[in-house]
């Protein structure tokens, strides 16, 4: 059928994405992956020094993605995150075990196509 499936795009995965976190006591960064889908974006951060693993599928509502940690781990962290595309980067709020910080990350140019 002509035009069938139009508008639907395949998920795209971006590895080696640097996430910067801005805490009241300083700045930190970790590396993870981002998967972009039609109506959601997944942040996947593996276990790293001083950072427990997390998997957050942010559903798109308007221009903001929002989600919670869904990773089943020995001691899963209670994490909520909201983020939005603000031009050349994504910026958002990260709430981990009740502690709030800002975070940001970038995807390569052309990620929307």
Write the pLDDT tens digit of every residue in 13-25.
Answer: 999 999 999 998 8
**Which pTM value belongs to this model?**
0.86
3-state helix, strand, coil in the chain (%, to 5): 0, 60, 40
58 token code pair:
């942010």
CA distance 113 to 100: 32
pLDDT of residue 83: 98
CA 52 to chain centre: 15
Which of 77, 76, 80, 75 has its CA nearest to residue 95? Answer: 80
113 — pLDDT class (breaks 50, 70, 90)? low
Instruction: Give the span between the Cα atoms of 41 and 83, in whole angstroms.
Output: 10
What structural domains and CATH numbers belong to the chain? 12-105 (2.40.160.90)
């Amino acid at each position: 059928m002509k035009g069938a499936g139009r508008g639907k795009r395949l998920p795209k995965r971006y590895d080696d994405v640097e996430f910067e976190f801005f805490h009241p006591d300083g700045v930190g960064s970790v590396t993870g992956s981002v998967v972009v889908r039609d109506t959601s974006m997944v942040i996947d951060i593996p276990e790293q020094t001083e950072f427990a693993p997390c998997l957050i599928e942010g559903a798109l509502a308007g221009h903001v993605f929002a989600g919670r940690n869904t990773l089943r781990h020995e001691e899963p962290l209670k994490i909520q995150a909201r983020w939005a595309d603000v031009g050349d980067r994504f910026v958002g709020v990260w709430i981990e075990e009740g502690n709030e910080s800002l975070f940001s990350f970038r995807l390569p140019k052309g990620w929307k196509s």
